[in-house]
Amino acid sequence: MHMIDFEINMADGKVKLDNKDLLIQREGEFIVSEPYKYLESINKVQRLIPYHYTVNAVLWFSKEFELIVRPLCFSNLPFVVQLIYKEGEYYKSINDWNKVSNIDMLNKEVDFLYRWVSEVYDLGEPDEKEKHSVTWSMEWGDITICYDIKSFNCGVYLTWS
């Protein structure tokens, strides 16, 4: 199975999917963009819900993630990329509400991803750190590793300012 290579340049926030630039854009522009057309041509992208597109398998530094893109929408929602670690307990529990809402498991997932991202990119101390959320503020936007305390969505979130 072909996995899409995911890259992010932490200095400028530029993202590439199989060497194709993922640009910050509105949904109408995103669905006619080079990376979207490429992913669609190899049957790797799906519309999840309005304004959310998923790529089931991306490889980020030898680890497998599911990637969700939320293009710019409305006037107040920024461009977001969410990465869900497919080898972690959260992903394995995603279809079982009792397991996915286990706070101890979610805290461990956030801690693992925090340590991994911090080590891979040598990011130093985060700008904000709570039990369920870690954020580095960059010139281009934020890298947040967290789980939502209402929906229990968990992963790495890249948000451009």
Round to whole Å and give the CA distance between 103 and 106.
5
User: Structure pTM?
Assistant: 0.94
Distance from chain centroid for Cα 71? 13
For the chain, the structural domain boundaries read 4-85, 90-160
Q: Quick count: other Cβ atoms within 10 Å of Cβ 24?
A: 19
Give pLDDT tens digits for 45-78.
999 889 999 999 999 999 999 999 999 988 888 9
| pLDDT value at residue 146 | 98
* Tens of pLDDT, residue by residue, the chain (161 residues): 689 999 999 999 999 999 999 999 999 999 999 999 999 999 999 998 899 999 999 999 999 999 999 999 888 889 999 999 999 999 999 999 999 999 999 999 999 999 999 999 999 999 999 989 999 999 999 999 999 988 999 999 999 99
Round to whole Å and give the CA distance between 9 and 51.
24
